Amino acid sequence: MTILEWDGYQAAGTKAQTTKGIVFGKDYTDEFGANGLAYSLITNDSQAIGKVRTGSKFDVLHPCAENFKDYVDGGFVQPWDTSLLPSFANLNPALVKGGQFNGQQYAIPWDWGYGSVIYRTDMVDPADATGWELFWNPKYKGRISMWNGATTNFEIAALKLGFPEMDNLSSDQLDQATQSLIEQKPLNKFLWVSEYTNLQPALTNGDIWIAYSWQDQWVYGREHKPPIPFNFMQPTQGRLGWYCGFMLGKDTANYYHAHKYVESYINHQACLSLTNNFYYGSADATVKLSEISDPLLAKSLSIGDPNVLSDTSKVHLQSWEPNEIAVQTAWEKVTAA
Amino acid sequence: MSAVRPRARRSASILRPGSGLLILPPAVWVLAVLVAPIVLIGLYSVNLKTNLLGVPTAFSTANWKDFLPPGSNPFWDRFKISMTITVAVSVITVVAAYPLAYFLAFVAGKRRYALLMVLLAPFFTSYLLRVIAWQVILNNHGVFNSLLWDLGLRPHGDGIPWLIYSKFSVGLVLFYSWVPFVAVPMFVVLDTMDRSLIEAAHDLGASRLTAFLRVTFPLSIPGVIAGFVFVLIPTTGEFITPLLVGGPSSFMFGNSIQSFFTDTPNWNYGAVLALWLVAVVLVMLLVFGRYLSTDLEDAAT
């Protein structure tokens, strides 16, 4: 079975999954073994949909909500049979609804979280760390690393520039955001590509003080011995929010295996291990704060309440972009400038 | 008339029944793996094919108009930076490889082929691994900066900012990667050189330097040009090295092409950049190939 997946999310029991305590995917590998699973890793959302558009076939895919519509409209996926997923009933209705198209369940929501600025509190003046504009602060030139994440950087620029619809920029707004990112670019040490081999070592050893990240890096810093003084910013403009889910390849020859595989990710214990290891939220509405190893941390991130994703005073949910091609081309111009 | 006859004989031999078939396999190969992909890329560049969902395929030069004329968009800046890095690396590599080739050809004696193998030995490992090894050496907490800290030459924790993720690091790793390969064609030319010409120069009173400047170096120019082209052409489209040790301002033109075909897939725009690069490489081949073919003909006679 071929799976389009983000690095770190490989099933427990596969050689690629080395994080202790992970149990998502374990039920599947216990029953069928790990040898039949082949992963193709996602670098960013644009690259993931690009792989599929250019002919790569997958049995199971794990894209994020902003591209669900692209996979459905492109005819790359088929609806799930939710009756084959016993844990489906436990999933948060709001997230479940986000995976429905034409009255059918095309995406099984699983993980959600935030994107924000992570910074070293021992290096960055707290007075400077108020919002997304920290990426543009020349005081930290050479200590910043944004993600080579194409469209995400335009969302960040749009929030910094105060545009109301970060995923639906007008032509003029796109030009302004492009110019703003071109001005920001020289402040980066590098644009990180891999969270674990690029970003994490540079943040840990102090090469980089300020970066775009998800909350798992903050948790990594807290659990590191000795702890690394990170803060995961709540920018004045709000964090980015995201949720992702599993989709079923249109021409899969592993229809029932795919359902078994996804059930092994959405069952209660699997969802709990997602939260306890990465402090991402899961779609499982039955996870209680008392079950999470650090309830205070979970509470501070509003884990257990995915409705926070629709609270626009705190979070801006990354959503489908009608002018995605123009934004991607603009990003290439930023990197080329 | 006698000079014409061999040409006539060659023409006749080509027309001999069946002999033309010999050219078929390489012709089919070139058409299939070189011409056909370029034609395909050409179709993408004018939107007669597309990888973009919902974009109709109809002839359009919009992407060409966006890319041309020179200087109208950031890809031209990237192209200029790339060519500067490429030419600088090619020149420095040739200059550095020449003494190496000279040593192997004129000083190393019977050990020259063994030493050539030693020189090439690291290149039997993966290119990717070797570039990553440079990351370990150059990064802020890497081998080089740690050495400077241990020697007290820089404050602890304060790495040289331009050592990695810079044009310098890209140039350095490309230089390292190409030196041995550039040395090989120069070594071949120097090694097969008619030594009696150098002896004659000495007999006529030329010093070692004069003999080198007036005899050895001019005769080795085909190898120098071959070595220069060996670096110039492939580094023009380089993208792996800048991706791993380059910073946001030292990405090369090849990175933009690679990105349009993978990270932010817009093959139609990427095709325009790719065709531009093909055209640049063709011009390079025409310019340098002329010198190379002339010298090869000279060598043959």
pLDDT in tens, A168-215: 999 999 999 999 999 999 999 999 988 888 899 999 988 899 999 999
pLDDT in tens, A241-290: 999 999 999 999 999 999 999 999 999 999 999 999 988 999 999 988 88
Q: How far apart are CA A191 and CA A90, in angstroms?
A: 38
B119 lies in some domain? yes
Q: Residues spanned by CATH 3.40.190.10 within chain A?
A: 2-112+241-309, 114-239+315-336
Answer yes or no: are the C-beta atoms of B59 and B46 closer than 8 Å: yes
Q: Which residue reads 């040395």 in tokens?
A: B183
Residues B186-193, mean pLDDT to the nearest whole number: 92
Question: Which candidate in B263, B267, B268, B272 is best for mutational testing of the A interface (most A CBs within 10 A)?
Answer: B263
Q: Sign of the CA dihedral A165, A169, A170, A174? A: positive
Q: How many CB pairs under 8 A join A and B?
A: 92
Question: Low-confidence residues of chain A, pLDDT below 50?
Answer: none
User: Please, is A290 exposed, middle or buried when counting C-beta atoms within 10 Å of its C-beta (0-12, 13-18, 19+)?
Assistant: exposed
For residue A194, the one-letter residue type is S
Q: Sign of the CA dihedral A51, A184, B174, B129? A: negative
Answer yes or no: are the C-beta atoms of B167 and B85 closer than 8 Å: yes
Chain B residue at shortest CA distance from A181: B248
Q: How far apart are CA B242 and CA B219, in angstroms?
A: 36
pLDDT in tens, B98-132: 999 999 999 988 898 999 899 888 888 888 899 98
Cα dihedral A35, A40, A43, A45, rounded to 10, equals -120
Answer yes or no: are the C-beta atoms of A109 and A95 closer than 8 Å: yes
CATH of the domain at B194: 1.10.3720.10
Lowest-confidence pick of A313-317, B51-55, B174-178, B243-247: B51-55
Chain A partners of B155 at a C-beta cutoff of 8 Å?
A: none
* pLDDT exceeds 80 at position B296: no
Chain A partners of B166 at a C-beta cutoff of 8 Å?
A: none
Q: How far apart are CA A104 and CA A82, in angstroms?
A: 10
Contact A336 B256 (CB under 8 A): yes
Q: Tell me, what's the pLDDT at A306?
A: 78
B73 lies in some domain? no
Answer yes or no: are the C-beta atoms of A2 and A38 closer than 8 Å: yes
* HSE, side-chain direction, 13 A CA sphere, residue A78: 13
Distances from the Cα of A328 to the Cα of A44, A178, A296, B235, angstroms = 12, 11, 39, 26
B203 lies in some domain? yes
Tell whether B70 lies on the interface with A, counting CB pairs under 8 A: no
ipTM of the complex: 0.74
Chain A partners of B262 at a C-beta cutoff of 8 Å?
A: 43, 47, 50
Chain A partners of B73 at a C-beta cutoff of 8 Å?
A: 333, 336
A-contacting residues in B 140-169 (Cβ below 8 Å):
140-141, 157, 159, 161, 165
Q: Tell me, what's the pLDDT at B287?
A: 86
* pLDDT exceeds 90 at position B13: no
Q: Tell me, what's the pLDDT at B5?
A: 41
Mean pLDDT for all residues in chain B: 86
Tell whether B243 lies on the interface with A, counting CB pairs under 8 A: yes
Q: How many domains does chain B have?
A: 1
pLDDT band at B7 (very low <50, low <70, confident <90, very high): very low
Q: Tell me, what's the pLDDT at B181?
A: 87
Tell whether B54 lies on the interface with A, counting CB pairs under 8 A: yes
Answer yes or no: are the C-beta atoms of A153 and A191 closer than 8 Å: no
State the nearest Cα–Cα gap between A173 and chain B, in angstroms: 18
Does the A2-112+241-309 domain belong in CATH 3.40.190.10?
yes
Phi, psi of A136 (to 5 degrees): -100, 5
Chain A partners of B255 at a C-beta cutoff of 8 Å?
A: 335
Tell whether B242 lies on the interface with A, counting CB pairs under 8 A: no
Strand partners, A282: A111
* pLDDT exceeds 90 at position B141: no
pLDDT band at B2 (very low <50, low <70, confident <90, very high): very low
DSSP H helices in chain A: 26-32, 45-53, 68-73, 93-98, 151-161, 171-184, 200-205, 215-223, 255-266, 268-278, 295-300, 324-336
Pairing relationship of beta strands A60-61 and A2-6 according to DSSP bridges: parallel
Q: Which of A119, A135, A158 is nearest to A237 (CA)?
A: A158
pLDDT band at B71 (very low <50, low <70, confident <90, very high): low
State the nearest Cα–Cα gap between A132 and chain B, in angstroms: 19
Q: Tell me, what's the pLDDT at A149?
A: 82
Contact A336 B251 (CB under 8 A): yes
Q: Tell me, what's the pLDDT at B292?
A: 67
State the nearest Cα–Cα gap between A199 and chain B, in angstroms: 13
Residues B60-77, mean pLDDT to the nearest whole number: 84
Contact B74 A334 (CB under 8 A): yes
Q: How many residues in total does chain A contain?
A: 337
Q: Tell me, what's the pLDDT at B297?
A: 47
Range of the domain at B91: 80-300
Lowest-confidence pick of A224-233, A293-302, B195-204, B268-277: A293-302
B295 lies in some domain? yes
Contact B264 A328 (CB under 8 A): yes
Q: How far apart are CA B135 and CA A203, in angstroms?
A: 16
Lowest-confidence pick of A96-100, B15-19, B24-28, B69-73: B15-19
Phi-psi region of A50 (alpha: psi -120 to 50; beta: other; left: phi over 0): alpha
Q: How many residues in total does chain B contain?
A: 301
Give the domain A114-239+315-336 fold: D-Maltodextrin-Binding Protein; domain 2 (3.40.190)
Tell whether B53 lies on the interface with A, counting CB pairs under 8 A: yes
Question: Which candidate in A70, A151, A320, A325 is best for mutational testing of the B interface (most B CBs within 10 A)?
Answer: A325
Q: Report the residue from A185, A325, A332 with minimal CB separation from B248.
A: A185
